[in-house]
């Protein structure tokens, strides 16, 4: 961790996230969009509370109709805390309701082949780390979780890597997100409010902020 990050985190100690330990829940499928994770009708609320009861609601109902069971409906995954997904997870709408629903359900970290940019950023902002692994590693994690729902996983964000049954799986995460989790500064508002003079200075030199009325400018 850089000394600068260390300095700005005096009040963020309780938000530091270094290690996540628990069991895994596998959800297969590429390009799983946020409409699938949180159908729009559940956005009709002024709160995030309660969203956890509707995670993947329509996908789960469709599977039940076909006599199947979505992992989020299976009792053996009910206490899982690490979600394993495939490519481009969370694409589509910018609704933070999706990572909120997953986190409130009990998910503490997500490992996938790749994530949509907005979903990734929304997850960082609420303290939910999304980490990427190689395709083969993701497949191995999915199979392991499918075979043994009780298989333990430990994610260490300092490396970052996951350990499952003695096997070490290397993970990746953009440096800024890793720093933010380790330092407990993933809730960026406090950082952004520091040094507001600098913000005023930028606003003052942008000609549109004054409606292009400053004749000395550009």
Q: Which stretch binds another protein (CB under 8 A): 13-21, 73-81, 153-161, 205-213?
A: 205-213
Residue 8 makes contact with another protein by CB under 8 A: yes
Residue 64 makes contact with another protein by CB under 8 A: no
> Of the candidates 63, 125, 151, 161, which one interacts with another protein according to CB under 8 A?
125
The strand order across the sheet containing 167-170 reads: 130-132, 109-112, 82-84, 19-26, 152-156, 161-164, 167-170
Taking the least distance from each CB to another protein, the nearer of 77 and 89 is 89
Query: Under a CB-based contact definition with an 8 Å cutoff, are residues 153 and 163 in contact?
Result: yes
Total site size for another protein, rule CB under 8 A:
75
Q: Which stretch binds another protein (CB under 8 A): 10-18, 29-37, 136-144, 156-164?
A: 29-37
Taking the least distance from each CB to another protein, the nearer of 59 and 164 is 59
3-state secondary structure 2-26: CHHHHHCCHHHHHHCCCEEEEEEEE
Q: Mask: binding to another protein, 76-115, rule CB under 8 A, as x and -?
A: -----------xx--xxxxxxx-xx-------------x-
| Bond into 112 cis (ω within 30) | no
- C-beta atoms surrounding 22 within 10 Å: 17
Residue 10 makes contact with another protein by CB under 8 A: no
Taking the least distance from each CB to another protein, the nearer of 145 and 183 is 183
């Amino acid at each position: 961790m850089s000394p600068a990050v260390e300095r700005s985190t005096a009040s963020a100690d309780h938000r530091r996230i270094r290690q996540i330990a628990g069991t895994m829940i596998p959800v297969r499928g590429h390009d799983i969009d946020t409409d699938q994770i949180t159908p729009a009708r559940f956005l009709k609320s002024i709160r995030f509370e309660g969203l956890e009861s509707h995670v993947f609601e329509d996908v789960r109902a469709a599977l039940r109709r076909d006599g199947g069971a979505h992992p989020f409906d299976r009792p053996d995954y009910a206490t899982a805390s690490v979600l394993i997904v495939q490519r481009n997870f969370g694409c589509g709408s910018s609704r933070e309701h999706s990572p909120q629903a997953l986190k409130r359900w009990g998910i503490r970290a997500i490992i996938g082949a790749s994530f949509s940019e907005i979903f990734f950023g929304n997850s960082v902002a609420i303290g939910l780390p999304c980490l990427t692994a190689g395709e083969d590693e993701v497949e191995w994690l999915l199979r392991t979780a499918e075979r043994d729902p009780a298989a333990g996983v430990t994610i260490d964000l300092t490396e970052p890597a996951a350990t499952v049954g003695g096997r070490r799986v290397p993970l990746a995460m953009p440096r800024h997100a890793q720093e933010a989790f380790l330092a407990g500064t993933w809730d960026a508002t406090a950082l952004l409010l520091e040094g507001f003079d600098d913000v005023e200075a930028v606003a003052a030199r942008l000609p549109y902020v004054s409606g292009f009325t400053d004749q000395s400018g550009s």
